Amino acid sequence: MNDIQNQSDLYLLVDEFYKKLLSDSSISYIFTDVVKIKIEEHLPILVTFWSQVILGTGGYTNNLTQIHLDVNAKEYLSPELFKIWLHHFNTAVDENFRGEKAEQIKTQALNIATIMQIKIAQNKV
């Protein structure tokens, strides 16, 4: 199994990850009912984000924190939802990749989930 090397690898990862999320009724409603994402538009944005984080390519200009705070304003993003999100993310990585970048992306996902939960908790006060 290869490590994450390019944007094609990241597209595969994000696509597999979202298949898992959208087939899990305990979290899929966030994407289908609350946010109503159009997956074909959403995937390239996520690939750009992860490419910037893992490959240093740049190009992601959205405010990740604000996006999650806006979603949280519509539907509480509980710690349990973040656990489910991380589980599916890590599983998608582990099923498709091995290596330094694969480990790095899982660590980054954990960091992002942790920061988002802190920001959500701070925003409640």
Mean pLDDT of the chain: 95
Angle of helix 7-22 relative to helix 39-50, nearest 10 degrees?
130
CA distance 36 to 71: 11
Span 71-100, pLDDT tens digits? 999 999 999 999 999 999 999 999 999 999
**Which whole number is the average pLDDT over 27-40?**
94
Pair 19, 117: CB distance under 8 Å: no
Pair 104, 116: CB distance under 8 Å: no
Both tokens of residue 10? 């990241």
Question: Does the reported pTM lie above 0.85?
Answer: yes
CA distance 91 to 17: 8
